[in-house]
């Protein structure tokens, strides 16, 4: 395998939204029974940022208007009402509450309070009994907002730093400066959350091993509980798409330096991107989580049904969809959806587990699907011959080499049907 192919696709979920199909009206009435089978995540998608980062192709827009954000929150409330009308949440167990985006902390304290009220009032979430996570950026990490989050039992804050080197921030079109990063991190440590995560990026033009090591040193000096280190991708409809080329061979060598550095600092690697201070106490499987998404741009999972607003990474279309969302009174029409068949449920289970430290539990796979993984997916023989995987204690796990190639191996597990739909996708 040529190293320049190491970064093909980040498989954070399956299938990708570009495989979803349009549906005029989505009937959720038969899915209430699915809610009780697995704990649920409630996810608020906040698609607003101070500015659009140069590498970002997520569903978000630069916007600061309180009036528009207030209108958006009112739409989120109507969205929650719709869910209550079509699904029975009686006795349903929520395990976590997540605020993503975008930049959720672009909201005022009053606006954030309204979202917490929706979680409590419409879904009966006890904020003292669930895991609560929120994302932020340095310019939005105001001390008074952090104090508010602490008072609402938020226990995980993830901050997108990306680099401690000003030149590299400029290359990424990040509109905060290195001094602001340090101030934000000091405030986060002062308030004290159960889990602090700091994001970094490698593969930036002009980034060297020395400058990357400097960012890692500064990051580790704050003793975050988690560190996510992402390889830089350049995607269409992003600000850096035509600015420079990524030296993927250098980027790949940087990955191994990152792993060695963080291991020496006492971090345990749980995926290609994630490093944690405390090694997880047990190897839990995933792949069947339910998630209720509120807001324009979030994705919901209920059983084998996935659905969301129509996918786009174009700024003009994001704005158009947000404006339509704000005017909506009914939120289950004109969506994109995917109903996973048995083969795709297997692939999702494999993908969600293989690229995490616990690996694929073979006994659980057999219990869930009644089949032999190796027989159904002979590509695992190739993975084994390439020394990308090993079988240990009844689990298929990535070797260190396999882990480094997660973004190369992942796309090999996409079904032909999903791949065909992704290739036909047109963002017009």
Global pTM value: 0.96
Phi then psi for residue 413, to 5 deg, are -95, 5
Strands (E), 26-115: 40-46, 48-49, 61-62, 94-101
Distance (Å, whole) CA 35 – CA 92: 6
Beta bridge partners of 22: 336
Q: How much of the chain is in helix, strand and coil states, percent to nearest 5? A: 40, 20, 40
| Angle 185-103-147 from CA coordinates, rounded to 5° | 50
Looking at the predicted structure, is the pLDDT value of residue 294 above 70? yes
Model confidence at 282, pLDDT cuts 50, 70, 90, reads: confident
Q: Each residue of 367-389: pLDDT tens digit?
A: 999 999 999 999 999 999 999 99
Nearest C-alpha neighbor of 394 from the set 367, 413, 425: 367
Q: How many CB atoms lie within 10 A of CB 149?
A: 23
Q: How many CB atoms lie within 10 A of CB 242?
A: 9
- Mean local confidence (pLDDT), 110-123: 97
Model confidence at 286, pLDDT cuts 50, 70, 90, reads: confident
User: By the 8 A CB rule, do 163 and 200 touch?
Assistant: yes
Residues whose CB falls within 8 Å of the CB of residue 382, separated by 6 or more in sequence, listed in order: none
- Mean local confidence (pLDDT), 396-418: 97
Q: What is the pLDDT of residue 263?
A: 98
Q: What is the pLDDT of residue 110?
A: 98
Looking at the predicted structure, is the pLDDT value of residue 4 above 80? no
Distance (Å, whole) CA 215 – CA 331: 43
The sign one gets for the Cα dihedral 278, 280, 129, 81 is positive
Nearest C-alpha neighbor of 309 from the set 295, 323, 319: 295
Measured CA to CA in angstroms, residue 167 lies from 171, 173, 178, 205 at distances of: 6, 10, 9, 10
User: How many residues are given for the chain?
Assistant: 428
> Any idea which residue has 């290739």 for tokens?
423
Q: Each residue of 55-95: pLDDT tens digit?
A: 998 989 998 788 999 999 999 999 999 999 999 998 899 99
Q: What is the pLDDT of residue 368?
A: 95
DSSP for residue 74 = H
Looking at the predicted structure, is the pLDDT value of residue 402 above 80? yes
Strands (E), 192-304: 195-202, 226-231, 268-269, 274-276, 290-294, 299-302
Distance (Å, whole) CA 186 – CA 357: 31
Q: Each residue of 141-195: pLDDT tens digit?
A: 999 999 999 999 999 999 999 999 999 999 999 999 999 999 999 999 999 999 9
Q: What is the pLDDT of residue 2?
A: 56
Q: Which two tokens stand for residue 270?
A: 């749980």
Nearest C-alpha neighbor of 261 from the set 216, 302, 328: 216
Q: Each residue of 200-250: pLDDT tens digit?
A: 999 999 999 999 999 999 999 999 999 999 999 999 889 998 999 999 999
Nearest C-alpha neighbor of 113 from the set 148, 85, 87, 79: 148
> Any idea which residue has 């029974």 for tokens?
33
Looking at the predicted structure, is the pLDDT value of residue 117 above 90? yes
- Mean local confidence (pLDDT), 88-117: 95
């Amino acid at each position: 395998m040529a190293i320049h192919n190491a970064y093909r696709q980040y498989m954070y979920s399956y299938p990708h939204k570009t495989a979803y199909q349009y549906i005029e009206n989505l009937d959720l009435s038969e899915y209430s029974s699915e809610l009780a089978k697995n704990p649920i995540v409630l996810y608020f998608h906040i698609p607003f940022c101070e500015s659009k980062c140069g590498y970002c192709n997520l569903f978000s827009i630069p916007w600061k208007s309180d009036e528009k954000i207030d209108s958006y929150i009112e739409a989120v409330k109507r969205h929650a009402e719709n869910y209550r009308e079509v699904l029975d949440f009686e006795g349903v167990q929520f395990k976590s509450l997540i605020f993503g985006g975008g930049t959720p902390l672009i909201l005022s304290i009053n606006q954030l309070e309204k979202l917490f009220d929706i979680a409590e009032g419409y879904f009966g979430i006890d904020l003292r009994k669930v895991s609560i996570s929120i994302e932020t950026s340095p310019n939005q990490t105001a001390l008074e907002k952090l104090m508010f989050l602490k008072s609402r039992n938020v226990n995980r804050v993830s901050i997108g730093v990306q680099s401690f080197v000003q030149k590299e921030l400029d290359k990424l079109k990040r509109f905060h400066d290195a001094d602001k990063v340090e101030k934000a991190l000091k405030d986060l440590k002062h308030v004290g959350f159960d889990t602090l995560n700091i994001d970094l990026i490698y593969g930036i033009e002009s980034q060297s091993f020395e400058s990357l090591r400097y960012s890692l040193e500064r990051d580790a000096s704050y003793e975050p509980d988690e560190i996510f280190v992402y390889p830089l991708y350049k995607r269409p409809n992003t600000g850096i798409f035509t600015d420079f080329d990524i030296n993927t061979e250098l980027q790949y060598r940087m990955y191994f330096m990152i792993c060695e550095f963080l291991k020496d600092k006492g971090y345990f690697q749980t995926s290609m991107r994630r490093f944690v201070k405390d090694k997880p106490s047990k190897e839990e499987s995933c792949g069947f989580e339910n998630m209720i998404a509120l807001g324009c741009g979030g994705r919901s999972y209920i059983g084998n049904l996935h659905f969301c607003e129509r996918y786009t990474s174009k700024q003009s279309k994001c704005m158009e969809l947000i404006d339509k969302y704000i005017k909506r009174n009914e939120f289950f029409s004109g969506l994109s959806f995917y109903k996973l068949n048995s083969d795709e449920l297997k692939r999702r289970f494999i993908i969600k587990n293989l690229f995490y430290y616990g690996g694929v539990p073979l006994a659980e796979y057999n219990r869930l699907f009644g089949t032999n993984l190796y027989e159904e997916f002979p590509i695992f023989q190739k993975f084994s011959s390439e020394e990308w995987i090993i079988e240990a204690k009844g689990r298929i796990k990535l070797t260190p080499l396999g882990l480094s190639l997660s973004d190369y191996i992942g796309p090999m597990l996409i079904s032909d049907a999903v791949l065909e739909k992704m290739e036909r996708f047109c963002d017009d």
